[in-house]
Protein backbone atom coordinates (compact mmCIF):
# COMPACT_ATOMS: atom_id res chain seq x y z
CA UNK A 1 0.00 0.00 0.00
CA UNK A 2 1.27 3.45 -0.88
CA UNK A 3 1.73 6.01 1.83
CA UNK A 4 0.75 9.65 1.44
CA UNK A 5 4.45 10.62 1.65
CA UNK A 6 5.06 9.02 -1.76
CA UNK A 7 3.08 11.81 -3.39
CA UNK A 8 4.99 14.87 -4.54
CA UNK A 9 4.36 17.96 -6.62
CA UNK A 10 5.32 17.60 -10.25
CA UNK A 11 8.33 19.52 -11.55
CA UNK A 12 9.31 20.61 -15.05
CA UNK A 13 11.35 17.44 -15.55
CA UNK A 14 8.13 15.40 -15.18
CA UNK A 15 6.33 16.99 -18.14
CA UNK A 16 7.19 14.29 -20.71
CA UNK A 17 6.00 11.58 -18.32
CA UNK A 18 2.83 13.52 -17.52
CA UNK A 19 2.08 13.68 -21.25
CA UNK A 20 2.72 9.92 -21.52
CA UNK A 21 0.33 9.15 -18.66
CA UNK A 22 -2.39 11.45 -20.06
CA UNK A 23 -2.08 9.65 -23.41
CA UNK A 24 -2.59 6.34 -21.56
CA UNK A 25 -5.73 7.77 -19.98
CA UNK A 26 -7.19 8.71 -23.37
CA UNK A 27 -6.33 5.26 -24.76
CA UNK A 28 -8.12 3.65 -21.79
CA UNK A 29 -11.18 5.88 -22.23
CA UNK A 30 -11.17 5.21 -25.97
CA UNK A 31 -13.89 6.12 -28.40
CA UNK A 32 -14.07 8.97 -30.85
CA UNK A 33 -14.90 11.54 -28.16
CA UNK A 34 -11.80 11.04 -25.99
CA UNK A 35 -9.39 9.68 -28.57
CA UNK A 36 -10.49 10.67 -32.09
CA UNK A 37 -8.55 9.06 -34.89
CA UNK A 38 -8.20 12.49 -36.53
CA UNK A 39 -6.42 14.01 -33.51
CA UNK A 40 -2.82 13.51 -34.63
CA UNK A 41 -0.02 14.07 -32.12
CA UNK A 42 0.19 17.88 -31.93
CA UNK A 43 -2.09 17.83 -28.86
CA UNK A 44 0.83 16.31 -26.94
CA UNK A 45 3.01 19.38 -27.59
CA UNK A 46 0.15 21.68 -26.57
CA UNK A 47 -0.39 19.62 -23.41
CA UNK A 48 3.31 19.81 -22.56
CA UNK A 49 3.26 23.62 -22.85
CA UNK A 50 0.14 23.94 -20.68
CA UNK A 51 1.51 21.54 -18.05
CA UNK A 52 4.80 23.45 -17.89
CA UNK A 53 2.87 26.71 -17.41
CA UNK A 54 0.48 25.27 -14.79
CA UNK A 55 3.38 23.99 -12.66
CA UNK A 56 3.93 27.60 -11.55
CA UNK A 57 0.34 28.86 -11.11
CA UNK A 58 -1.79 28.99 -7.99
CA UNK A 59 -4.92 27.63 -9.67
CA UNK A 60 -3.52 24.16 -10.40
CA UNK A 61 -1.92 21.34 -8.45
CA UNK A 62 -0.19 18.49 -10.28
CA UNK A 63 0.72 15.54 -8.07
CA UNK A 64 2.81 12.52 -9.02
CA UNK A 65 4.18 9.27 -7.64
CA UNK A 66 7.52 8.03 -8.90
CA UNK A 67 7.98 4.58 -10.43
CA UNK A 68 11.17 2.70 -11.16
CA UNK A 69 11.64 4.22 -14.65
CA UNK A 70 9.41 7.27 -14.79
CA UNK A 71 6.14 8.21 -13.17
CA UNK A 72 3.84 5.55 -11.74
CA UNK A 73 0.82 7.85 -11.38
CA UNK A 74 -0.37 11.44 -11.62
CA UNK A 75 -3.38 13.59 -10.93
CA UNK A 76 -4.28 17.19 -11.64
CA UNK A 77 -6.50 19.53 -9.69
CA UNK A 78 -7.63 23.00 -10.76
CA UNK A 79 -9.75 25.69 -9.16
CA UNK A 80 -11.93 28.11 -11.09
CA UNK A 81 -13.54 31.25 -9.79
CA UNK A 82 -17.24 31.03 -10.60
CA UNK A 83 -19.94 33.44 -9.47
CA UNK A 84 -20.99 32.88 -5.83
CA UNK A 85 -24.54 31.87 -5.01
CA UNK A 86 -26.51 30.25 -2.21
CA UNK A 87 -25.12 26.85 -3.24
CA UNK A 88 -21.57 28.20 -3.70
CA UNK A 89 -20.76 30.85 -1.08
CA UNK A 90 -17.41 31.88 -2.59
CA UNK A 91 -17.73 30.46 -6.12
CA UNK A 92 -14.44 28.51 -5.89
CA UNK A 93 -15.05 25.27 -7.82
CA UNK A 94 -12.43 22.55 -7.96
CA UNK A 95 -11.94 20.06 -10.77
CA UNK A 96 -10.04 16.79 -10.69
CA UNK A 97 -8.55 16.14 -14.10
CA UNK A 98 -7.07 12.88 -15.23
CA UNK A 99 -5.96 10.79 -12.29
CA UNK A 100 -4.10 7.99 -14.06
CA UNK A 101 -1.80 5.16 -13.01
CA UNK A 102 0.55 3.34 -15.35
CA UNK A 103 -0.78 -0.23 -15.81
CA UNK A 104 2.40 -1.70 -14.26
CA UNK A 105 1.66 0.15 -10.99
CA UNK A 106 -2.09 -0.29 -10.61
CA UNK A 107 -3.83 -1.69 -7.52
CA UNK A 108 -1.21 -0.23 -5.14
CA UNK A 109 -3.17 2.72 -3.76
CA UNK A 110 -1.52 5.36 -5.93
CA UNK A 111 -4.78 6.94 -7.13
CA UNK A 112 -6.11 7.06 -3.57
CA UNK A 113 -2.93 8.76 -2.31
CA UNK A 114 -3.02 11.33 -5.13
CA UNK A 115 -6.72 11.99 -4.54
CA UNK A 116 -6.16 12.52 -0.82
CA UNK A 117 -3.42 15.02 -1.65
CA UNK A 118 -5.66 16.84 -4.11
CA UNK A 119 -8.59 16.91 -1.67
CA UNK A 120 -6.31 18.43 0.98
CA UNK A 121 -5.23 21.07 -1.56
CA UNK A 122 -8.88 21.87 -2.41
CA UNK A 123 -9.72 22.22 1.31
CA UNK A 124 -6.77 24.57 1.88
CA UNK A 125 -8.01 26.78 -0.96
CA UNK A 126 -11.61 26.71 0.31
CA UNK A 127 -13.17 25.12 -2.75
CA UNK A 128 -16.89 24.81 -2.08
CA UNK A 129 -17.26 21.88 -4.47
CA UNK A 130 -15.01 19.56 -6.44
CA UNK A 131 -16.20 18.06 -9.72
CA UNK A 132 -14.78 15.18 -11.71
CA UNK A 133 -15.64 12.79 -14.47
CA UNK A 134 -15.05 9.20 -13.37
CA UNK A 135 -14.11 6.21 -15.46
CA UNK A 136 -15.94 2.99 -14.63
CA UNK A 137 -12.76 1.73 -12.95
CA UNK A 138 -12.27 4.89 -10.89
CA UNK A 139 -15.86 5.49 -9.81
CA UNK A 140 -15.81 3.18 -6.74
CA UNK A 141 -12.77 5.00 -5.31
CA UNK A 142 -14.30 8.43 -5.86
CA UNK A 143 -17.58 7.39 -4.25
CA UNK A 144 -15.63 5.97 -1.29
CA UNK A 145 -13.93 9.37 -0.95
CA UNK A 146 -17.34 11.07 -0.73
CA UNK A 147 -18.14 12.01 -4.34
CA UNK A 148 -21.78 11.71 -5.38
CA UNK A 149 -23.96 12.25 -8.44
CA UNK A 150 -24.24 15.89 -9.46
CA UNK A 151 -27.84 17.13 -9.54
CA UNK A 152 -27.40 18.73 -12.99
CA UNK A 153 -27.19 16.64 -16.15
CA UNK A 154 -23.80 16.81 -17.81
CA UNK A 155 -23.98 18.28 -21.28
CA UNK A 156 -21.30 19.57 -23.62
CA UNK A 157 -20.98 21.39 -26.93
CA UNK A 158 -18.21 21.49 -29.49
CA UNK A 159 -18.01 24.30 -32.06
pLDDT tens track for 95-153: 999 899 999 999 999 999 999 999 999 999 999 999 998 888 889 999 999 999 988 88
By the 8 A CB rule, do 74 and 98 touch? Answer: yes
Cα separation of 152 and 10, whole Å?
A: 33
Q: Which of 155, 127, 118 is nearest to 10 (CA)?
A: 118
pLDDT tens track for 9-18: 999 999 999 9
pTM for the model stands at 0.89
For the chain, list the domains and their CATH numbers.
Answer: 4-144 (3.40.630.30)
Q: What is the mean pLDDT of residues 42-56?
A: 93
Confidence of residue 32 (pLDDT cuts 50, 70, 90): low
Cα separation of 117 and 5, whole Å?
A: 10
Amino acid sequence: MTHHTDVRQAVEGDVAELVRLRALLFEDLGGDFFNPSSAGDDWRDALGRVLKDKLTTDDAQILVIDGANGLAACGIGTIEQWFPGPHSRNGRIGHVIGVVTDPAYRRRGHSRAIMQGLLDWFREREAVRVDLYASREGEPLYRELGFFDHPDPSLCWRP
